[in-house]
Structure 1
Amino acid sequence: MNKEIRTKEIYRQLKNSEFITIEKLAEKFNVSEMTIRRDLLELEQKGLAVRGIGGAYPSRALDVEISIDEKKVKNINKKRQIAEGAINFIKEDMTVFLDSGSTCYELSKKIKLRDFRHLNVITQDLSIVNYLKETSGINLIVLGGLLSNETNSMNGILTQLCLERLSADIAFLGASSISNDLKIFTPSENKILSKIEMVKNSKKSILIADSGKINNSNLYYVHDVKDFDLFITDQGLSSEFEKRLMESEIKYMKV
């Protein structure tokens, strides 16, 4: 297989994957890992790929928000595992901030199954609102703001003003992407303020994000992973990234 055909095939596979490893590509095309690295560099220079540790991601516009329907099916089993780990930190009579997003939505499912006698849940995510609205024992506080049809959630300055008047025992936040240097990004500037206020106004904050979000970036920087008391992710966490977490003395849990 010549180089042109190989790079086209690599690009095709990238479009259908969240992340693909150099090792896997080298094995598939029966070439050296150095050859694959050169192919990925060429694709990145053309804006068709984003290289990460040990592989590459499909390229997309940094300020484009993926729709909530698409998010809900991506890495769904990993998100459910993360939610299973996160639910154990929620206790009776707590007040909980639930960020918008598919992983927090999976956590809301676990909340409903626990049959809490009394729990306050504060969220701007309308999917979570609709799921929990008739659940016995749940006092649901819905944040106002600018509605995003892509994410089915409220954000912006009005959401921030609501959050400034509220406090919680614990906050769970998702992430669109986490870079190699442990920074958390979002594609939407309207999400920045609400995320900052949730962490600021909670006694404990937990980042819940699957390993597919790692070694990537978006347009707007929001937090560092170290700003959270705990990072819950799945078993797909790479050894390189895990080493960075340990070096930075960041508490994390793989489920």
Structure 2
Amino acid sequence: MTKRFTKERREHIHHLLTERKRITVKQLSEELDVSEVTLRTDLKEMEKVGLLTRTHGGAIMNEPTTATGSFKKRSQTNLKEKKIIAQRALSLIEDKSCILLDASTTALELAKEMKKLNMKLTIMTNGMSSAIELKENPYFNVILIGGILRPGSMALEGSVGIQTMDMLNSIDLLFTSSSGFSVESGLTDFNFYETDLKKNMVSRAKHVVALIDHSKFNTNSISSFARLSDIDTLITDHAVEIEIAKQITAHDVRLIDR
């Protein structure tokens, strides 16, 4: 079997757990051709970010929370900061643009601001809540990306979404957020299924805008979907530390932090 990098191996472990709900270290070792010591380290790190619960000799998949409860809780976290970011992001939007929004709660706040605009816009999103916010504006052409709706999420995920995006010849702006951001890892998230779609979004957009509140700086989740070099503009709510700001702008990223 071809050896996998750590990230790829952990993604595969997560996929197996999603299918089987529980798995043993011995089974993983046989299927992945990796030592049990390495796999125990993988499971320990994956448990830290809430992807699983370790058991004697293996791990089980964590039971998901309900979609409404989980999304509602996240949407209220750092709400003031998200509103500041959303208002700053509006200045990047031009009439007759084609815009892509991810399903993050920060993008939802942007959608709430966008719906007040008197511009002709085509907006594509995999966020059900954002689509609902935007649909009443008569100037907007709103396209909801199809896919699978999973527990604990208001995001539609999967390959169907990629096929939907093929409908558009050009995407001017992508507004996306993440669970974590660092100079080294870029934008990272917990959900492998959603990061696969986000990677595709990043690859299609002419201009990638990261919407990152201050609490996400210098934190990493398990799966990266955009390196710093993939980002064109980063918007946050607080002034960024001087050294970090220098590293961000050194990658030709426009930083909007005040």
Among all aligned residue pairs of Structure 1 and Structure 2, give the percentage whose two residues are the same amino acid.
24
Contact 1:123-1:143 at 8 Å conserved across structures: yes
Match of 1:56 in 2: none
Match of 2:133 in 1: 131
Measure the CA separation in 1 of the matches of 2:121 and 2:251. Answer: 34
After TM superposition, give the deviation of residue 246 of structure 1 in Å. 3.5
Measure the CA separation in 1 of the matches of 2:105 and 2:154. Answer: 11
Which AA in structure 2 matches 1:151? S
Contiguous gaps of at least 5 residues in structure 1: 1-58
2:50 counterpart of 1:61? yes
Measure the CA separation in 1 of the matches of 2:228 and 2:81. Answer: 19
Match of 2:165 in 1: 163
Measure the CA separation in 2 of the matches of 1:150 and 1:240. Answer: 36
Larger deviation, residues 92-101 vs 189-198: 189-198
Contiguous gaps of at least 5 residues in structure 2: 1-47, 53-61
Given candidates 183, 197, 210, the residue that maps to 1:207 is 210
Which AA in structure 2 matches 1:124? N
Q: Structure 2 vs 1, CA of residues 83 and 143 (structure 1 numbering), >3 Å: closer, same or farther?
A: same
After TM superposition, give the deviation of residue 79 of structure 1 in Å. 0.8
Larger deviation, residues 74-83 vs 164-173: 164-173
In the TM superposition, 1:25-174 aligns within 5 A as 60-61=49-50, 67-116=70-119, 118-166=120-168, 167-174=170-177
Q: Structure 2 vs 1, CA of residues 132 and 149 (structure 1 numbering), >3 Å: closer, same or farther?
A: farther
CA offsets per residue over residues 106-156 of structure 1, 9 Å max, x none?
Answer: 11011112232x211100100011111222211111110011232211011
In the TM superposition, 1:173-252 aligns within 5 A as 173-252=176-255
After TM superposition, give the deviation of residue 91 of structure 1 in Å. 1.2
Measure the CA separation in 2 of the matches of 1:112 and 1:202. Answer: 21
Contact 1:105-1:127 at 8 Å conserved across structures: yes
Which AA in structure 2 matches 1:74? T
Q: TM-score, normalised by structure 2?
A: 0.70
Measure the CA separation in 1 of the matches of 2:145 and 2:90. Answer: 22
Measure the CA separation in 1 of the matches of 2:104 and 2:239. Answer: 20
The residue matched to 1:113 in structure 2 has which SS? coil
Which AA in structure 2 matches 1:125? G
Match of 1:46 in 2: none
Q: Which runs of 4+ in 1 moved over 4 A?
A: 62-66
After TM superposition, give the deviation of residue 180 of structure 1 in Å. 4.9
The residue matched to 1:106 in structure 2 has which SS? helix
Which AA in structure 2 matches 1:111? M
Contact 2:232-2:252 at 8 Å conserved across structures: no
Q: TM-score, normalised by structure 1?
A: 0.70
Task: Give the count of matched residue pairs.
Answer: 196
Measure the CA separation in 1 of the matches of 2:150 and 2:179. Answer: 15
Measure the CA separation in 2 of the matches of 1:196 and 1:98. Answer: 13
After TM superposition, give the deviation of residue 159 of structure 1 in Å. 1.2
Measure the CA separation in 1 of the matches of 2:160 and 2:135. Answer: 22
Measure the CA separation in 2 of the matches of 1:213 and 1:236. Answer: 13
Which AA in structure 2 matches 1:209? I
Contact 1:225-1:231 at 8 Å conserved across structures: no
The residue matched to 1:139 in structure 2 has which SS? strand
Measure the CA separation in 2 of the matches of 1:149 and 1:132. Answer: 23
